[in-house]
Amino acid sequence: MMQSQGQLQGVQLWPSMIFFRSWAEYEVYKDSLVRSIQSLKIKQTEMIESRIATSAKPSDGLYEGNFDLFRSDLPDLSVLVEFIRSSLKLAVSVAHGQAIQPQELTVNFVDSWYHVSTSGGFHDAHWHQNCSWCGIFYLEIGDYQLSNSSAPNGGSRFYSPIPLGGVYKDAGNRYMHPYYDPELQSGMLLIFPSHLLHSGLPYFGNTERIVIAFNAQVHVKSQTRSS
């Protein structure tokens, strides 16, 4: 990079962008989707039906379905999936500085599932594999509460992928926060890159916390026939 004498220049490297979007039709489809997820939960023969990463999840307080939710025929689920698909295309376009337009992209949801948390439900810190982007749709946040003094009840926590100067901390690298707790609300979609370590913090409440999650691969249409 050529620099003019005496001028300070900087370039941002390896950004980790997280995207948020509220679903405008949430109130229209909420009740139908909640009933559908609850009906699947009732049919489960074991708490973690997927049997994936069971050591990172509690033996009680968390229901997890199989990882093929988006391929089911639940009422109104296809409407939510299309909202997620279009939102992910927009996010990828923004991440590339609009060098790729949303209409040029195709999305393949390789995994999709639900979590229903009752008192004590959590998911320990983890990454997602075989995908470039992941997301969580907060169908019902229950008694979630963001706190300035303690871990949020039922929050989603994201951890910095960059070591803080070999774990040395001072005013010089204070901007590199070790973790991030986004403020959540029902009807919100959160999209994040798969390399981010994250966790579902313990949830305690009288109302079930219901989320729908996914892993996705995104390609330029000329490179793949995925849809």
Kindly report which listed range (4-8, 32-36, 76-80) carries the lowest average pLDDT score: 4-8
d(C-alpha 155, C-alpha 140), whole Å: 12
The CATH superfamily label for domain 19-222 reads q2cbj1_9rhob like domain (2.60.120.620)
**pLDDT category of residue 153 using cuts at 50, 70 and 90:** very high
Asked whether the predicted pLDDT for residue 166 surpasses 80, the reply is no
Name residue 113's beta-bridge partners: 213
- Please give the average per-residue pLDDT across 133-151, as a whole number: 95
**Quick one: angle between helices 77-95 and 26-43, nearest 10?**
110
pLDDT band at 105 (very low <50, low <70, confident <90, very high): very high
Q: How far is CA 35 from the centre of its chain?
A: 22
Amino acid, res. 43: K
Q: Is the pLDDT of residue 89 over 70?
A: yes
Distance CA 159, CA 145 (A): 19
Residue 79 has pLDDT above 80, yes or no: yes
For residues 122 and 53, what is the distance between their CA atoms, to the nearest angstrom? 12
- pLDDT band for 132, please (50, 70, 90 cuts): very high
Q: What is the pLDDT of residues 171-206, one digit of tens each?
A: 988 888 889 999 999 999 999 999 999 999 999 999
Higher pLDDT, 14 or 194: 194
The Cα–Cα gap between 180 and 225 comes to 36
Find the mean pLDDT for residues 70-81: 97
Q: What mean pLDDT comes out for the span 32-40? A: 97
Provide the residue ranges of all domains of the chain, joining segments of one domain with +: 19-222
Q: What is the pTM of this model?
A: 0.93
Show Cβ contacts of residue 132 under 8 Å, excluding neighbours closer than 6 positions. Answer: 193, 194, 216, 217, 218
